[in-house]
Structure 1
Amino acid sequence: MLRYNTATTQNIIKHYRFTHTLVQFNNANIHRFGVKEPALKNLTLNINNDQRLVIIGSVGAGRSTLAETIAGRHQVKPLSAAKWPVVNSPYPSEQIRLVSFKEDSGTFSYSGHYYQERFNFSDPDNDVTLAHYLEKDKVDPEALDKVIEKLDIKHLMSLSFVKLSNGQTRRARIARALLQKPAMLILDEPLMGLDVQHRSRLLETLGDLDTPVVLVLRPQDEFPIWATDVVALKDMEIEWQGKPKEFLEKRDKLKQQEEQEREAYRQQQQQIIKKQQQENNTPSPSVVELKNVNVIYSGTKILDNITWTVGQGERWALLGENGSGKTTLLSFLTGDHPQAYANELYLFGRRRGTGESIWEIKQKVGLVSPEIHLYFNQGLTGLEAAGTGFFDVVVPRPISEEQIKVVRQLFKDFSMESFMDRKLRDMSSGEQRMVLLIRSLVKMPELIIWDEPFQGLDDKMIKNINTWLEEHMRPNQSLIMVTHHEDEIPRSVVHRFKLGPGGVDAN
């Protein structure tokens, strides 16, 4: 884990001969456009050129709102309460780059694509390659080569943007922001979707920049050694400001205690499973069975001879680096991948391609993923978005009173009742992810597939979800979960399957 380092911080500060203000708020009220009530009240915050600020807070605490405010995306009242000396324009958002969860550059829009398109053989009609995405603004070739090398996306330049993995997309969007040479760079949860290696690599790259950087992180995320200051938010207000050392000492003490409890529970679960297997010689029926599965695009193997069986009631973690083929493998299990018919694959006891429809498969599967998240209309309410899970679509359909009752109970279970009638656009990305987690459960499906489900969620929310799984999952329900964070894996998940580079079996 990256930790606070006094020597490194002092070296960074030495780069600055004079201290001056970059952004300043003094008792400012921050309003979203068209909203009378302020989102942030009496905001007082000063960011100097010798600071490397990290913003911390739980879901709904106001982290993204504060990031957007620093980037000049909200109204400030009175106008005199905010200053942006870092820019030479009356419009700070023109020179400050904010990279948040969803792509909003105008070069690429998910509205012109559909979810299954990323698994097709051919490129989409309105194809935007990564090279086009990064080079549209006529960037300096030398700068481009340096950035794509640093962020490890050089080998992806010819690929369609829509076909990049979640972690690859995140790195590409950060690269684009850097190439625009911003006066300040603000990254909202930049570590989401990145494996351990690429999280470390990104933080190192950011630490070498001359450009002022503000990071928005979850409390549990890796902490950059170059950070100089921490701002902690709670209930849309700054609760605490201080130095990283103080924050990390308190956080790490809690994490160690939780890890000990989690490991003790897992050992107990493994003993229970072992005892059940000894008492019952009849193996449980398989929910998923892959035999020597291969996926090839343009001569490149994405999955290489994968054999894997998931039994009824088993809980698995699917692990692997960015680009190792995890999402492609999961697309076989949801019926979305066209190459499933060319492989030996059994779902729920039936070989794929023997007459079953894609919708018969989907009816037994509950899915949440970063990719499907991107295709939801922000105008949907929490109820409408969750209700689409009954039909395995991303557009709203009428649901019955009985179905509304099921959705309402799940929102209640996760203390999300107030979000049923709220529109997605008025939620943080973490709150939206909670709605989509509920969506994946409304059918109480035989197989739950969670691809990086906890992106944007804080420790408390993750703990609540994992407790819900332990208390509410039926013994015959199976779970497959993808994550790049070992400490996010539910305690009840005792099986692991790992993919290596090139989609090989790395177990």
Structure 2
Amino acid sequence: MNITHYTILIDSKSKTDGFVEDLLNNSYTSSFEQLRGKKGLVFSSAQLAHFLDEEEKHGLKIITAQTEQSLLSMSSGERKKALLEYLLRNSPDYLILVNPYDNLDRSHQSNLKQKLLGISKSKILIQIIGRKEDILSLNSKYAKLEVDKLIWFNSQKDFLESNTLSKTNFSQYAIPHPLKPIKSSIKQLVKFNDVSVAFNNKPIITNINWTINSGEFWQLKGPNGSGKTTLLSMITGDNQKGYGQDLYLFGNKKGSGESVWDIKKHIGYFTPALTDKFRGYHSLENMLISGLHDSIGLYVQPTENEKMLAVKWLRLLNMEAKSDSYFHQLATAEKRLLMTARAMIKHPPLLLLDEPTSGLDDYNASLFVSLVNKIAKESKTAIIFVSHREEKGLEPSSIFELIPTKNGAISKIH
């Protein structure tokens, strides 16, 4: 069977959701004639989020109805496998794949790619991709979605050459100094001494030794389910498994009387899911200033010094002209830059960045990496950068890798 597939490159300005809806409704009949009258289904993080929400809020096990395991208890790789199997049981004629490899480690990415290559022999695949390295080599038509308009290319060669990534360097402005530096003489921020964690008698991490000192730049890596989230939750004080361990956080042994707030005041934190908490009409200036008050939204009258600091950060991010715009109006990549600035505005001793480039296109991932490198060079803040991808241009001073074993993940430092 000779099947023609489609590869669509997207960026932060692409109106992807509307495009997908139009595809499903056959609104692109001239460009996608072979889809007319056919049944399409969507494989995306948004679809997974919908099913997770149904399970969490209403107890509806939709895509895992045939198993005892819940979607909530699965790893990222298991969830995507379950979603794909569910879609295939519903016998679509074509699948729309929206950034299908996000949040997957290399092994799960490879497995999913092989599975999709097999599916491509009998079903039409529409790849909607932000990263060129994710593109499957198929008999395909190529286009780029510029806002809501498709730009078609005559060949894969023309497509790739037209979308070459130019080097991204961040603003010439320096990282703004904090208004009130967090007073701390602690050089050794975090120390794990032979820390082991198990859940329901299943070992997660084993004999972990890791010391994070002031100003260091670490990349935390490891496959899905290797214990990265467990380590982060112990550092933030949210994991009860930290009690009784030889674990030191910002000068105090875990369980010595410190509160979770005592720990969190030393930490700036960003993960893409945080952006969902800010649903109100928050100006960019107020969003940044709220980071000084650790609030979701700004509920006090900002001082002139606070406003000036916010302006400096907006200038650095090249968003000064948008200072009065609302946060929800920003593109995804802009939201992440702003939220990272918000996490850094007080120059915390430690900055945690959990999968911050997930879902970004090549250009904006490169821009984000450039900002992180700049923070590392121009501040005394230690950084832990968590990502499944090997982000080009990232300049960590050290890499902490978790390696799964049957007795729990062990660690290796590069």
TM over 0.5: yes
Q: How does 1:426-465 map to 2 (within 5 A)?
A: 429-465=332-368
Instruction: Specify the alignment match of 1:54 in structure 2.
Output: 7
Change (3 A) 1:488 1:309: same
Stretch moving more, 194-203 or 226-235: 226-235
Aligned pair partner of 1:98 in 29, 42, 45? 42
Distance 1:479 1:161 in 2: 31
Match of 1:161 among 71, 78, 90: 71
Q: Could you say if the C-alpha distance between residues 330 and 490 of structure 1 is closer, same or farther in structure 2, counting changes exceeding 3 Å?
A: same
CA shift at 1:419, angstroms? 8.2
Offset from partner CA, 1:445-483 (integer Å, 9 cap, x none): 211111111112233323333333344444421011011
Q: CA deviation at 1:291?
A: 1.0
Change (3 A) 1:55 1:406: farther
Does 2:399 align with 1:496? yes
* CA deviation map 1:83-119 (0-9, x unaligned): 887465xxx9xx5322333346754318957xxxxxx
Change (3 A) 1:98 1:301: same
- State whether residues 41 and 95 of structure 2, in contact with CA within 8 Å, keep that contact through their aligned partners in structure 1: yes
Q: How does 1:266-277 map to 2 (within 5 A)?
A: none
Which amino acid in structure 2 is aligned with residue 487 of structure 1? Answer: E
SS at match of 2:256: coil
Q: CA distance change for structure 1 residues 330 and 465 in 2, over 3 Å: closer, same or farther?
A: same
Q: CA separation in 2, counterparts of 1:430 and 1:363?
A: 26
**How far is the alpha carbon of 1:381 from its aligned partner?**
4.3
Any idea what the Cα deviations from partners look like across 1:433-455, whole Å, max 9, x if unmatched? Answer: 44433343233221111111111
- Give the equivalent residue in structure 2 for 1:410: 313
1:181 matched to 2:82: no
The separation in 2 between residues aligned to 1:110 and 1:307, in whole angstroms, is 39
Residue 230 of structure 2: SS of its match in structure 1? helix
User: Offset at 1:293?
Assistant: 1.3
Which position in structure 2 is the counterpart of 1:201?
A: 111
**Residue number among 281, 291, 294 corresponding to 2:193 in the alignment:** 291
Counterpart mapping for 1:31-70 below 5 A? 50-70=3-23
Deviations 1:322-378 (CA, angstroms, capped at 9, x unpaired): 1111111111111211111132211222212212211222122111224545x5365
* Corresponding residue SS for 2:88: helix
Query: 1:213 is matched with which residue: 122, 125, 146?
Result: 125
Task: Name the CA distance, whole Å, in 1 between partners of 2:79 and 2:393.
Answer: 23
The residue identity in structure 2 corresponding to 1:332 is: M
Superposition map of 1:47-446 within 5 A: 50-72=3-25, 86=35, 95-103=39-47, 107-109=51-53, 132-136=61-65, 159-209=69-119, 210-248=122-160, 285-372=187-274, 376=277, 378=279, 381=282, 383=284, 389-390=291-292, 395-402=296-303, 403=306, 405-416=308-319, 418=322, 421-422=325-326, 424=328, 429-446=332-349
2:362 counterpart letter in structure 1: D
Q: CA RMSD in A?
A: 3.7
Q: Secondary structure of the residue that 2:358 maps to in structure 1?
A: coil
Structure 2 distance, partners of 1:450, 1:469, is: 9
**CA distance in structure 2 between the aligned counterparts of 1:420 and 1:245, rounded to whole angstroms:** 42
- Alignment check: 8 A CA contact 2:127 2:135 kept: no
SS in 2 for 1:343: coil
SS in 2 for 1:208: helix
Name the residue aligned to 1:477.
Answer: 381
TM-score, normalised via structure 1 length: 0.66
Which residue number corresponds to residue 25 of structure 1? none
Distance 2:153 2:42 in 1: 22
In 1, distance between residues paired with 2:85 and 2:279? Answer: 26
Identity %: 24
Give 3-state SS (helix, strand or coil) of 1:162's partner. coil
Q: Letter of the aligned partner of 2:232 in structure 1?
A: L
Separation (CA, whole Å) in 2 of partners of 1:179 and 1:489: 41
Which residue identity does 1:292 align to in structure 2? D
Structure 2: how far apart are the matches of 1:495 and 1:351?
24
The whole-number CA distance in structure 2 between the counterparts of 1:64 and 1:358 is 39
Q: Which runs of 5 or more structure 2 residues have no equivalent in the other structure?
A: 170-185
Aligned residues of 2:153 and 2:159 also touching (Cα < 8 A): no
The residue identity in structure 2 corresponding to 1:494 is: S
Runs (5+) with no aligned partner, structure 1: 1-14, 17-49, 114-125, 139-156, 262-283
- Indicate conservation of the 8 Å contact 2:290/2:297, yes or no: yes
Cα offset for 1:204? 1.7
Q: Is the 8 A contact 2:188 2:212 kept in 1?
A: yes
Per-residue deviation, 1:498: 0.4
Contact 2:144–2:150, Cα closer than 8 Å, also in 1: yes
User: Do the aligned partners of 2:347 and 2:379 also contact (CA within 8 Å) in 1?
Assistant: no
Hey, what's the Cα distance between the residues in 2 that align with 1:225 and 1:348? 49
Contact 1:54–1:216 (CA under 8 A) maintained in structure 2? yes
Separation in structure 2 between the aligned mates of residue 380 and residue 167 of structure 1, nearest angstrom: 35
Amino acid at match of 2:302: E
Tell me the alpha carbon deviations over residues 154-204 of structure 1, each in whole angstroms, 9 at most, x when there is no partner. xxx655433444454444434433333333321211111111121122122
- Paired amino acid for 1:467: S
Paired with 1:133 and 1:420, the residues of 2 have a C-alpha distance of 42
Letter in 2 for 1:214: I
Partner of 1:11: none
